[in-house]
Amino acid sequence: MKYYSTLLLSAIALIALTLPGPVSGEPLSSSQESAKPYTFGFLPYAMFSDDKGFGIGIIVQWDDKRSPDYQPYYLSHRIMFERTTRGIGDYSYRLDSKYILPASLRLTFEARYIASLLEPYHGPGGAQTEYNSEYVDIRGKYYYMYDKRYLQVNTLVQGWLKGEELRWLAGLVILRTWVDTMDYADNNQGPGETLLAYHWESLGADTAGGWENGLMTGLVWDRRDHETSPHKGFWSEVLLRLVPNIPGNDFAYTVLTATHRQYAPLSEALTFAFRFSGRFMTDGAPFFTMPRLDGSFKTETGLGGNKTIRGVLWQRAVGNRFFYGNLELRYRILSLFRTGYLAGSAFYDFGRTFDKPHDNMFEHALDKDQWHRGVGIGGRLAPNDTFIMALDLGWAVDASMDGPGVKVYMGLDWLF
């Protein structure tokens, strides 16, 4: 309980410190009076995702746009609460600003607690894992799942090296995970033995989870014309996260992640956007942290699912070393309100791991992973250019390896 209290108090303190007070000075001009200094989005919603199931949640986003000189905002708060039928509770708060710290330093603070009773587990690797959708009927509904709960608090500061394009990044990452294989036999969903339970001894996993506190540093080169709705430019980053062998940590490892995102305008309304990302993680990281994807703005989990390879099962491919990419055409159909829009998209996603297969974990394991690929279409409805509602439909190219049928994803923002 003390971890949740710390999380809540940190969020309240940051909100209180950054709420705007009275602004003194010259009277506003007529043009300034016509511009809205704040935008507020409150969205109670019902959603469906093939990653998480049916869910209900609340998203609150408040952007302080006190002057046109601050782009895309002076300060942004986003609070999210979500519960789903697949046993996932996701609660987060994010603060982002380029202006509240001195010397034009950018602060991004993210606190997030996730309780995932039905977290996916297909084994380390991708195609080597011999995934078989029929096992769900033969061995139980929860055969490819386990219980995972974690708390993460990221505090990142970025400073400028060249104008507002090239910047350095440094910060603290606090991560605590709780893990259980669970026995689902009491739920009458099969024999009760999960794939993770079979692998438990081979993985050398710690049933208690553990602490993985560390430092993050990196370089970010950002030349997007707009941060949340880019039409041209690029956004690249190289991040190094060090989890040292110190008292208080249960694991020690190093992670190097590189990501490049490019936005090429093909016409005034059409954008070709693509992203390539690779990750190298040293030995020593536990299996439950391998899906974590570091980022300068937020963290996600993959490979597979709505944040990496749409159309492919969530966390289908997991390993220390991987590469994935996204190719996407985005078309603005019409403008809405002052800065909002309606847009459509078509995409092709792909990725794979490069780890050697674990000995004796699968009876007929392949020597190496294969490419996991997904294709699909999507749409975006944006009341304003910083609050974007998203819908994506994806299909796995190889349904036998990555899951059959259409995958539906509803959420926020462009993928990248």
Domain residue limits, the chain: 2-13+55-412
Q: How confident is the model at residue 42, as a pLDDT? A: 80
Rounded Cα distance between 187 and 194, Å, is 13
3-state class of 301 per DSSP? strand
What pLDDT score does 312 carry? 96
At residue 184 the predicted structure's pLDDT band, cuts being 50, 70 and 90, is low
Q: Strands (DSSP E) along 5-52, which ranges?
A: 38-49
Distance CA 343, CA 270 (A): 10
Length of the chain: 416
pLDDT band at 193 (very low <50, low <70, confident <90, very high): confident
The pLDDT of residue 168: 95
Work out the mean pLDDT of the chain and round it to a whole number. Answer: 85
Query: What are the DSSP E strand ranges found in 85-144?
Result: 88-97, 106-120
pLDDT reading at 316 higher than 60: yes
When pLDDT is cut at 50, 70 and 90, the band that residue 199 belongs to is: confident
Instruction: Report pLDDT for 223.
Output: 96
* 3-class secondary structure, 162: strand
Mean pLDDT over 237-260 rounds to 96
Fold of 2-13+55-412: Porin (2.40.160)
Q: Whole-angstrom Cα distance, residue 238 to residue 96?
A: 20
Q: Measured in whole angstroms, how far is the alpha carbon of residue 380 from the centre of its chain?
A: 18
Average pLDDT over residues 304-309: 94
Per-residue pLDDT band at 207 (split at 50, 70, 90) = low
| DSSP code at position 358 | P
164-185 average pLDDT score? 85
Nearest CA among 305, 308, 255 for reference residue 277 = 308
For range 28-56, the mean pLDDT: 69
The pLDDT value given to residue 55 = 86
pLDDT on residue 14:
38
Distances (CA, A) of 325 to 102, 158, 227, 258: 36, 26, 20, 12
Task: Name the β-bridge partners of 111.
Answer: 93, 153
Alpha-carbon span 384 to 24, nearest angstrom: 28
256 in the Ramachandran plot: left (φ > 0), alpha (ψ -120 to 50) or beta? beta
- Read off the DSSP letter of residue 233: E
Indicate the pLDDT class of residue 28, thresholds 50, 70 and 90: very low
Model confidence pLDDT, tens digit, residues 363-413: 666 778 999 999 999 999 999 888 899 999 999 999 999 999 999 998 889
